[in-house]
Amino acid sequence: MNIKTFPQGTHPPGYKALTSDLPLEFMPPPEKVFIPLQQHFGRQAIPSVKKGDEVCLGQKIGECNTSFSASVHSSVSGKVLSVDNYVHPLGMPVLTISIVNDGQDRPSSEIKGVKNAFSLGKDEIRNKIKEAGIVGLGGAAFPTAVKLTPPKDKPIDTVIINGCECEPFLTADFRLMVEYPDDILKGAELIRLAAGAERVIIGIEDNKKKAIEVFKEKSNDFSIEVVTLRTKYPQGAEKNLIFAILHREVPRGGLPFDVGVVVQNVGTSKAIWDAVSEGKPLYERAITVSGTGIVEPKNLIIRIGTPFKNIVEYCGGLKDDANILITGGPMMGITQGTLEAPVIKGTSGLLSWRKAKLPFEYPCIHCGRCVDHCPMGLIPTHLVNYVKVNQLIEAEKWGILDCVECGCCEYSCPAKIPLVHWIRLGKSKISIQKRKKSA
């Protein structure tokens, strides 16, 4: 078997066995949902409802006001309680629409499917994806309609469907591949049509043998190539995935369309099929609830806006010694300070365990492990040193904006330096400077 991969990276323990054999389960919607208007890359959506309004399941409650934005939809039917700031998984208050669930799931009249989704033109497919509020479900939450509209001078020849799910603990994408392969493949064909590409490739890590078998069985019916990838972190990062499968290198500061490629997550592909064929907006998603701090780990399909406390209760609660809760995976996830925050479109997992006291940080010993493991070929300690003395121009010259914040450097650092923290700070400062200049 020809197993492909990319240079560098690392091999953290997988912990996939906790949930890999657990089928996806639909969690009942909560009594109240809290739906942020900012849960995607780009501008915040504009609220289109007010306190006291009655809303239906799937009704648009937030309008995208620029190309780099995404519409937001109600995940229940009921009454709007408030449109106000509320805690967000990223840690800051965000304008949020809270809705009390009437328990009826009355569908919105806006939800309209089509008989033959494959008969639609490029613009029609993109428009349905945009109206459904589809964003990348792998974590970046980039508006999908924008991703499928490359510049005219950047033709797309290949669509890659990302089935790697390389973060430890997470298995919801694996379950989607095993349980909903036809929906994923039909969504992939719609992506191909919208992007004007010639071929579709799905990349799956070799620790997901059942998913590989399923897709190879269906590859002829759907004209898709299945590529087996070595289990390594971060195999699922776009640029690494493109290099591993096609041996094309996205230029520094560039995007996948610069090398003729569009990459979409398997969950996004299924959501696209649901949106175009059934008219179903993105109001729910699959997540993994796992970790040694969770009483009963599960793979769940959860309504957007469901508070973490409801999810934890549904999974039997937290164990007595659990002291950390993370959204996403352990390598790139975000530590949560409250159980009140809600699931958003980019929430791929909810993990808990007992974390030991933070290790003492030592001075850099110049071992070079961070360089050896960086999949982007950067020198993390060099970038951190520039950030610490506020030499942001130099940090940018040395490629700080190319860092994907995967955490390989910090994971491999024997001195326990919080490298990703400093790099994120530097990127944030550079972004603020650029916005000020453009203003």
Q: Where are the domains of the chain?
A: 1-26+111-356, 369-438
* CATH number 3.40.50.1370 given to 1-26+111-356: no
Instruction: Tell me how far apart the terminal alpha carbons of the chain are, to the nearest angstrom.
Output: 54
| Cβ neighbours for 431, distance < 8 A, ≥ 6 positions apart | none
Threshold 0.85, pTM exceeds: yes
Please name the residue that has the structure tokens 């330096």: 417
The confidence score (pLDDT) of residue 55 equals 98
Nearest alpha-carbon partner for 274 in 202, 344, 198, 176: 176
Helix ranges (DSSP H) in 180-226: 181-195, 209-222
The confidence score (pLDDT) of residue 110 equals 86
- Give the residue, 210 or 40, on which the prediction is more confident: 210
Helix (H, G, I), strand (E, B) or coil at 419: helix
Helix (H, G, I), strand (E, B) or coil at 363: coil
Pair 101, 33: CB distance under 8 Å: yes
Which two structure tokens, joined as six digits, stand for 260? 């003729």
Nearest alpha-carbon partner for 202 in 131, 270, 285: 270
Whether 189 has a pLDDT exceeding 90, the answer reads yes
Which two structure tokens, joined as six digits, stand for 330? 């352990």
CB atoms within 10 A of CB 389: 9
Alpha-carbon distance of 366 to 381, in angstroms, equals 9
Q: pLDDT tier at 358 (50, 70, 90 boundaries)?
A: confident
Helix/strand number for the chain, H first, E second: 13, 17
Residue 317 dihedral angles phi and psi, to the nearest 5° = 95, 180
- Give the H or E element holding residue 80: strand 78-86
The confidence score (pLDDT) of residue 32 equals 98
Whether 242 has a pLDDT exceeding 70, the answer reads yes
Pair 47, 96: CB distance under 8 Å: no
Alpha-carbon distance of 439 to 434, in angstroms, equals 9
DSSP 8-class letter at 143: B
pLDDT tens track for 297-347: 999 999 999 999 999 999 999 999 999 999 999 999 999 999 999 999 999
Q: 3-state SS string over 6-19?
A: CCCCECCCCCHHHC
The confidence score (pLDDT) of residue 1 equals 59
pLDDT tens track for 196-231: 999 999 999 999 999 999 999 998 888 899 999 999
Whether 378 has a pLDDT exceeding 90, the answer reads yes
What are the strands of the beta sheet with 349-353, ordered from one edge?
Answer: 24-26, 298-303, 284-290, 349-353, 324-327, 334-335
112 CB-contact burial (10 Å; exposed 0-12 / middle 13-18 / buried 19+)? exposed
Alpha-carbon distance of 34 to 401, in angstroms, equals 32
pLDDT tens track for 60-112: 999 987 878 899 999 999 999 999 999 999 888 999 999 999 999 999 998 98
Whether 274 has a pLDDT exceeding 90, the answer reads yes
Alpha-carbon distance of 122 to 195, in angstroms, equals 7
**What residue type is assigned to position 53 of the chain?**
D
Which two structure tokens, joined as six digits, stand for 25? 């389960």
Alpha-carbon distance of 130 to 143, in angstroms, equals 8
pLDDT tens track for 126-176: 999 999 999 999 877 899 999 999 898 999 999 999 999 999 999 999 999
Alpha-carbon distance of 301 to 307, in angstroms, equals 14
Alpha-carbon distance of 205 to 139, in angstroms, equals 18
The whole-chain average pLDDT of the chain stands at: 95
